[in-house]
C-alpha cells in the first residue's frame, strides 16, 4: 500500500489560494519567506522519489510552468513524477508521465494506493483533501505554515470536512519564520470534558 501525503503552503488563517486563481488579490505571498533552508526542508518532505496526485486546476497551472523551469531538484522531481489527475478531460493531459484517475475519483485513488510504487503526494486541492480525509485515504499532512494573515481566499479545510485527529510527527522552523509541521492521520476526533487541562 502506497503512503499518501497531503502537502500545502498555508497562511496562519488557513488560506492556501495562490496568485493566478480567480480574483485572488495577493500575488505570490509565499515569495518573501523563501529560503534555501526552506527549499531543502520541502524537498526532504517529498521523501526522494514520489508520484503526484493533482486536481485539474493545479495540474494546468503546474504544467504551464514546471516543464519549462530550469533544472533543479524540485523541477526534476516534479517533472519525473507520474501525475495522477482528477479531471473530466483526460484527453487533454500532456504533461507526463500522467494517468487519469478515472470517472470514480475515490475508486481511482484506492486503485493507485494499492499498487506498488513510490509515495503519493497531493498538492493544491482543498476538494481532494476533504475527499481523502472523509474516505480514510490520507496518511499524512505536511503543512508549510507562513507567518501571515490573508483574511480572504480558499482554505485548505473546507466547510464540511469531516472531523478527525492528527498526531504531530515533527516540526522544522526556517530562518524566515516558516514552520513545516508534519502530522499523521490518527483517526476520529477525540473530545474531552470541559475544564480538562490541555
State the Cα–Cα distance between residues 8 and 139, nearest whole angstrom: 14
Residue 198 has pLDDT above 70, yes or no: no
Give the chain's mean pLDDT: 88
Residue 22 has pLDDT above 70, yes or no: no
Q: How confident is the model at residue 20 (pLDDT cuts 50, 70, 90)?
A: low
Residue 72 has pLDDT above 70, yes or no: yes
Domains of the chain: 4-139+150-157 (3.40.430.10)
Q: What would the pLDDT profile of 80-138 be if each residue is shown by its tens digit? A: 999 999 988 888 888 989 999 999 999 999 999 999 999 999 987 777 888 888 888 99
- pLDDT for residue 11: 93
Residue 19 has pLDDT above 70, yes or no: no
Share of the chain above pLDDT 70, in %: 96
* Average pLDDT over every residue of 157-180: 89
State the Cα–Cα distance between residues 107 and 114, nearest whole angstrom: 11
- pLDDT for residue 42: 83
- pLDDT for residue 17: 84
SS3 (DSSP) at 69: coil
- pLDDT for residue 24: 79
State the Cα–Cα distance between residues 41 and 125, nearest whole angstrom: 21
Question: Would you say 33 and 178 are in contact if contact means Cβ atoms under 8 Å apart?
Answer: yes
- pLDDT for residue 40: 85
Residue 58 has pLDDT above 70, yes or no: yes
Residue 47 has pLDDT above 70, yes or no: yes
Residue 195 has pLDDT above 70, yes or no: no
Least confident of 18-22, 153-157, 161-165: 18-22
State the Cα–Cα distance between residues 24 and 8, nearest whole angstrom: 17
Question: Which residue did the predictor score with more confidence, 62 or 120?
Answer: 120
Share of the chain above pLDDT 90, in %: 45
State the Cα–Cα distance between residues 180 and 159, nearest whole angstrom: 24
Amino acid at each position: 500500500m502506497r503512503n499518501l501525503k497531503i502537502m500545502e503552503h498555508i497562511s496562519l488563517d488557513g488560506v492556501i489560494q495562490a496568485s493566478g486563481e480567480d480574483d485572488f488579490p495577493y500575488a505570490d505571498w509565499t515569495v518573501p519567506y523563501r529560503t534555501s533552508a526552506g527549499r531543502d526542508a520541502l524537498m526532504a518532505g517529498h521523501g526522494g522519489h514520489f508520484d503526484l496526485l493533482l486536481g485539474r486546476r493545479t495540474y494546468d497551472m503546474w504544467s504551464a510552468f514546471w516543464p519549462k523551469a530550469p533544472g533543479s531538484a524540485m523541477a526534476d522531481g516534479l517533472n519525473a513524477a507520474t501525475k495522477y489527475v482528477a479531471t473530466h478531460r483526460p484527453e487533454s493531459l500532456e504533461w507526463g508521465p500522467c494517468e487519469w484517475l478515472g470517472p470514480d475519483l475515490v475508486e481511482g485513488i484506492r486503485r493507485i494506493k494499492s499498487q506498488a510504487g513510490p509515495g503519493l503526494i497531493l498538492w493544491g486541492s482543498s476538494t481532494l483533501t476533504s475527499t481523502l480525509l472523509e474516505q480514510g485515504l490520507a496518511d499524512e499532512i505536511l503543512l508549510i505554515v507562513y507567518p501571515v494573515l490573508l483574511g480572504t481566499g480558499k482554505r485548505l479545510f473546507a466547510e464540511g470536512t469531516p472531523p478527525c485527529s492528527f498526531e504531530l510527527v515533527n516540526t522544522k522552523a526556517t530562518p524566515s519564520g516558516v514552520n513545516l509541521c508534519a502530522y499523521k492521520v490518527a483517526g476520529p476526533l477525540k473530545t474531552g470534558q470541559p475544564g480538562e487541562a490541555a
